[in-house]
Amino acid sequence: MPEARRAGVRDCIEKVRADFGALLGDETTVADLAALEIPALCLAGDESPAATRRIAEIIADAIPGARGERFADAGHMGPLTHPGEVNGAIRKFLRFPSADHDDAIAYTPMTARAA
């Protein structure tokens, strides 16, 4: 690996360690997810690792009324590699967060709420 790349890895290794620590220490259960009463959108790419796709499916299936969406040809970094598709799904979800509602639900961006 080129030295410049190795330096980049060294610079972010503490963040990676912290992320894995948080992930492995998370005690959220499927029952916890099933108790949520919030709109949820779970996204995954068809090219993401199988474990990542499965986790997204489990979460989408567990949260009542959650929507799950997969993107063809997208991997784990779909928001960066397929921003139009991912942003389109998010925009659609924010307009109609629940599959049980056909009417548009007004969404106010966080920046507008602070004003």
**How far is Cα 32 from Cα 62, in angstroms, rounded to an integer?**
9
Is residue 18 a part of any domain in this protein?
no
In a domain, 63, yes or no: yes
| Residue 5 confidence (pLDDT) above 50 | yes
Beta strands of 9-92 (E only): which ranges?
Answer: 41-45, 67-71
Residue 82 lies inside a defined structural domain of this protein: yes
Query: pTM for the whole thing?
Result: 0.66
- What lies within 8 Å, CB to CB, of 74 at 6+ separation is 45, 46, 47, 48, 81, 82, 85, 86
- Residue 8 maps to a domain: no
pLDDT of residue 14: 87
Average per-residue pLDDT for the chain: 83
Question: pLDDT (tens digit, 9 = 90+) per residue, 13-55?
Answer: 888 888 888 878 889 999 999 999 989 999 999 999 999 899 9
Structural domain harbouring 57: 28-114
pLDDT, residue 30, reads 95
pLDDT band at 103 (very low <50, low <70, confident <90, very high): very low
Overall number of domains in the chain: 1
pLDDT of residue 105: 47
**Residue reference for tokens 């602070």:** 114
